């Protein structure tokens, strides 16, 4: 017979054992396992994350912003914490204007962190937050903004969704613009939203530097407007313009059509994104004659007033006919340039030895990249034979058998315009810190003396007459004298032969002619209808020069220019008597 109260004793013993076991378990968790529990809690709630650095701006020479990074919200999710996934997918897709299948795939990826949508609008952020979805949150992200839209897109390039430069200066100067990311411990709640009051900075991010360009956004706009008029009037395959300061080699504008908006690069074709002024080359035709004429004058092979027989515009040389559009008889060296005689240039070109001509051309930088800092720049094309054959020398005398870029032409003519010194064209002026203080100035090689000052004066005088009474009258502007040279070149077809009806129209001009502040090169490929350089390209150069000089506050001297023009007109009238 069991003693009385045995049930109470058994129950007491059971609960005593139970509480003892619980006590041991609590001791194991809170005392012996404290460090482990804390580590597990930290691992779930705390995360070491990178703190993005602010990408540096790109600005023009006057401080106008061309590219800037703006903070925007980006939506993310931790799929482990997302409840009722089907409903969450439907709501997220609707709120963020996304494809439902794409959202589903992200949540089913098996990852603990996925971006649902980068760079959301404020309205999208508000709509998602109103859903109060567990495991879905927002982080501050950056979006690269190009403030002038299509302007300079081919030069600036663009960045990927993570802010890494993919093309143009954004890629070339990634190391300057990107800065250095920081690190911090971040505490997140059950919804995986960051608790901003609980962060532990480890390393502060270092912002990227600001890239200051030599470009003047005002002159860039003028150049682009001039090209837009060409595109509308002549419907060419492409048109480019380069504007430089010939005294320094600084690029003040570089534009091309077709172009694209770097804010939406995926909408553009590859050919619209490349900087044609630096990547595309053509046979320069008559714009090349100034370079060869400089060599002939410098080497004393011709004199400005010497008379040259142009054979009536048709000269047979080694079985090949060299022709002019308009035939002339015996004319001066200066007039060979003014009327743009191929025959006259060919006759004079034969006076230069093949090795000398090749050396002269290469000394101006043709056949290699200018080093302007534009990714994908072409070195152009020079004949591979060495030495050049006599036929090659003749062709090269008037701009065939070679390929040059508009940027290379600007570099060469800059030396003629400034009195004989060749400067490397360049786009980057300086690197600035976040306070606008100069960290680094773009290192440039010193200018190289190419032509004597006298030869330059003689050549500029000839080039003024090209505009005043030659093939480029459409480039004349009130108040200033413009010097320049036109070019009209046949283009190759797909079969490797010159194609009927395919031309490149070009013009190189600078002003004020005797003390140039601006030099402009315009090249137009495959214009429809009119195709001469003096008709298609020269008016645009005149427009850019006129508006650009006004922006630079270069005062015209209308009275002096009128006197000079009257004197030339009187001399021409006397010559006709």
Report the run of H or E that residue 330 belongs to, with start and end: strand 330-332
Distance CA 75, CA 117 (A): 5
Residue from 543, 110, 471 nearest 325 by CA: 471
CB atoms within 10 A of CB 266: 6
The full DSSP string for 218-282 is HHHHHHHHHHHHHHHHH--SEEEEEEEETTTTEEEEEEEES---TTSGGGS-HHHHS-HHHH--B
Output the six-digit token pair for 475: 């480039």
3-state secondary structure of 422: strand
Assess contact for 423 and 407: CB atoms under 8 A. Answer: no
Could you tell me whether strands 210-213 and 58-59 are parallel, antiparallel, or unpaired per DSSP bridges?
A: parallel
Assess contact for 163 and 142: CB atoms under 8 A. Answer: yes
Report the run of H or E that residue 464 belongs to, with start and end: helix 453-469
Angstrom CA distances, 198 to 304, 477, 478, stand at: 81, 67, 68
Distance CA 1, CA 355 (A): 131
286 catalytically annotated: yes
Of residues 74, 286, 397, 506, which has the active-site annotation?
286
For residue 18, give every residue at least 6 positions away whose Cβ sits within 8 Å of its Cβ, in sequence order, or none.
Answer: none
Residue from 204, 512, 466, 515 nearest 334 by CA: 466
Distance CA 374, CA 371 (A): 8
Estimate to the nearest angstrom the gap between the alpha carbon of 538 and the chain centroid.
Answer: 24
Q: What are 199's strand-pairing partners?
A: 186
Phi/psi at 43 (nearest 5 deg)?
A: -65, -35
Report the run of H or E that residue 541 belongs to, with start and end: helix 538-551
Termini Cα distance of the chain:
157
Assess contact for 324 and 308: CB atoms under 8 A. Answer: no
Distance CA 288, CA 574 (A): 32
Distance CA 67, CA 263 (A): 10
> How deeply is 289 buried, as exposed, middle or buried, from its count of CB atoms within 10 A (0-12, 13-18, 19+)?
buried
Residues designated as active site: 286
């Amino acid at each position: 017979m069991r003693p009385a109260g045995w049930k109470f004793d058994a129950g007491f013993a059971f609960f005593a054992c139970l509480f003892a076991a619980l006590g041991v378990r609590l001791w194991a968790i809170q005392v012996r396992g404290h460090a482990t529990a804390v580590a597990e809690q930290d691992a779930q709630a705390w995360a070491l994350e990178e703190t993005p650095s602010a990408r540096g701006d790109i600005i023009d020479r006057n401080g106008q912003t061309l590219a800037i990074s703006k903070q925007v919200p980006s939506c993310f999710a931790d799929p482990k914490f997302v409840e009722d996934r089907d409903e969450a997918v439907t709501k997220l897709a609707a709120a963020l204007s996304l494809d439902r299948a794409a959202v589903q795939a992200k949540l089913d990826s098996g990852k603990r962190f996925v971006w649902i949508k980068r760079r959301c609008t404020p309205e999208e952020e508000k709509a998602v937050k109103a859903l109060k979805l567990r495991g879905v949150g927002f982080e501050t992200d950056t979006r690269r903004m190009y403030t002038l839209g299509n302007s300079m897109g081919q030069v600036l390039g663009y960045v990927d969704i993570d802010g890494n430069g993919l093309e143009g200066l954004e890629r070339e100067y990634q190391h300057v613009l990107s800065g250095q990311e920081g690190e911090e411990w971040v505490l997140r709640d059950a919804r995986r939203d960051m608790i901003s009051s609980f962060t532990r900075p480890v390393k502060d991010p270092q912002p990227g530097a600001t890239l200051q360009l030599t470009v003047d956004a005002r002159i860039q706009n003028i150049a682009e407007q001039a090209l837009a008029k060409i595109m509308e009037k002549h419907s060419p395959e492409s048109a480019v313009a380069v504007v430089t300061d010939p005294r320094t080699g600084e690029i003040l504008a570089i534009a091309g059509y077709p172009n694209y908006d770097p804010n939406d690069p995926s909408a553009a074709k590859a050919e619209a994104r490349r900087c044609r002024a630096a990547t595309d080359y053509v046979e320069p035709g008559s714009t090349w004659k100034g370079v060869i004429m400089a060599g002939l004058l410098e080497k004393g092979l011709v004199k400005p007033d010497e008379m040259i027989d142009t054979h009536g515009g048709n000269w047979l040389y080694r079985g090949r006919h060299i022709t002019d559009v308009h035939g002339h008889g015996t004319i001066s060296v200066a007039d060979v340039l003014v009327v743009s005689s191929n025959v006259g240039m060919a006759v004079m070109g034969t006076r230069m030895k093949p090795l000398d001509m090749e050396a002269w051309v290469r000394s101006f930088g043709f056949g290699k990249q200018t080093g302007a800092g534009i990714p994908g720049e072409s070195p152009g094309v020079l004949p591979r034979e060495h030495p050049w054959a006599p036929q090659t020398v003749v062709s090269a005398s008037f701009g065939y058998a070679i390929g040059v870029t508009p940027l290379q032409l600007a570099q060469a003519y800059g030396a003629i315009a400034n009195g004989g010194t060749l400067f490397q064209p360049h786009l980057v002026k300086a690197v600035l810190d976040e306070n606008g203080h100069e960290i680094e100035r773009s290192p440039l090689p010193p200018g190289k003396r190419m032509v004597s000052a006298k030869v330059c004066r003689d050549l500029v005088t000839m080039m003024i007459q090209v505009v005043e009474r030659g093939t480029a009258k459409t480039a004349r502007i009130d108040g200033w004298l413009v010097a320049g040279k036109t070019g009209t070149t046949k283009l190759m077809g797909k079969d490797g032969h010159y194609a009927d009806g395919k031309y490149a129209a070009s013009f190189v001009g600078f002003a004020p002619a005797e003390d140039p502040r601006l030099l402009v090169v315009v090249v137009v490929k495959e214009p429809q209808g009119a195709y001469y350089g003096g008709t298609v390209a020269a008016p645009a150069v005149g427009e850019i020069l006129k508006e650009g000089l006004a922006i630079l506050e270069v005062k015209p001297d209308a009275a002096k220019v009128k006197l000079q023009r009257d004197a030339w007109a009187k001399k021409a009238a006397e010559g006709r008597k």
